[in-house]
Chain A
Amino acid sequence: MTEPLGRGELRALAIQRHASAVLAPLWVTLCLIWMRSRGWKLEGADETRELFRRLRRESSQPIMVCANHLTLVDSFLIAWALGDLGSFLRRPSSIPWNTPETRNFAHGFWQRALAWMARCLPVTRGGDRSDVAKTLARVGYVLERGDPVLMFPEGGRSRSGRVDPKSGAWGVGRLVRAVPDCRVLCLYLRGHSQQSWSSLPKRGERFHVSAVTLEPKSDRRGLRASVEVARQITRRLSEMEEQVLGAPEPGS
Chain B
Amino acid sequence: MESAQIGERVAKILEPYVKDTDAFAKRSDTTKILDDLKVNSARLVDVILAFEDEFDIEIADEDVDDVETLGDCVRLIAARLS
Question: Known: A155-B42, A167-B42, A223-B59. Is A130-B65 also a contact (CB below 8 A)?
Answer: yes
Question: Known: A178-B61, A222-B60. Is A129-B49 also a contact (CB below 8 A)?
Answer: no
Give the chain B neighbours of A130 by CB distance below 8 A.
65
- A contact patch SS: helix
Give the chain B neighbours of A129 by CB distance below 8 A.
64-68
Question: Known: A3-B65, A129-B68. Is A223-B48 also a contact (CB below 8 A)?
Answer: yes
Number of B residues whose C-beta is below 8 Å from A?
Answer: 19
Question: Known: A125-B41, A126-B41, A169-B42. Is A223-B34 also a contact (CB below 8 A)?
Answer: no
- Complex CA gap A155/B44 in Å reads 13
Residue A221 is within 8 A (CB to CB) of chain B in the complex:
yes
Closest residue of B by beta carbon distance from A175: B61
Number of A residues whose C-beta is below 8 Å from B?
Answer: 24
Binding site for A on B (CB under 8 A): 34, 40-42, 45, 48-49, 52, 58-68
Binding site for B on A (CB under 8 A): 2-3, 125-130, 132-133, 155-156, 167, 169-170, 174, 177-178, 221-224, 226-227
